[in-house]
Amino acid sequence: MVLLDIKKLDNENLIEKHNNEIMIIKENVYNTWSDKETQIIETNKNLQADLNKITIMYIIKDKKTLKDTHLTESTIKRYYYNIKPYIEELKYKELITGIKHTH
């Protein structure tokens, strides 16, 4: 599928840009290590947010998905962001066990 190839390339470009930003942060002699750690954490958060935007963007761009599911773009976004924590933060365990897990 062409969209998946483009998404992979976009992800690779984002990751390369992210790695360059991390290198610049680490090489900055004017910041303390604590400042660098804070900047790296923020940069990592930004990368994750950008990767998520790309993912949802390609889901929406796939007109076949919209046609086959009869869902609107806003519904797809809502479903995507609602289920995301269950996958990324392992909250699916709550659904299985009925016990709320905290990290």
Predicted local confidence at residue 28, as pLDDT: 93
One-letter identity of residue 67: K
**Percent of the chain predicted with pLDDT > 70:** 86
Angstrom distance (rounded) from CA 84 to CA 23: 29
Confidence of residue 90 (pLDDT cuts 50, 70, 90): confident
Q: What angle do CA 21, 26, 29 make, to 5 degrees?
A: 120
- Cα separations in angstroms, 79 against 41, 54, 64, 89: 27, 16, 17, 16
Q: What is the pLDDT of residues 56-83, one digit of tens each?
A: 777 777 766 667 777 787 888 888 888 8
Q: What angle do CA 66, 67, 71 make, to 5 degrees?
A: 45
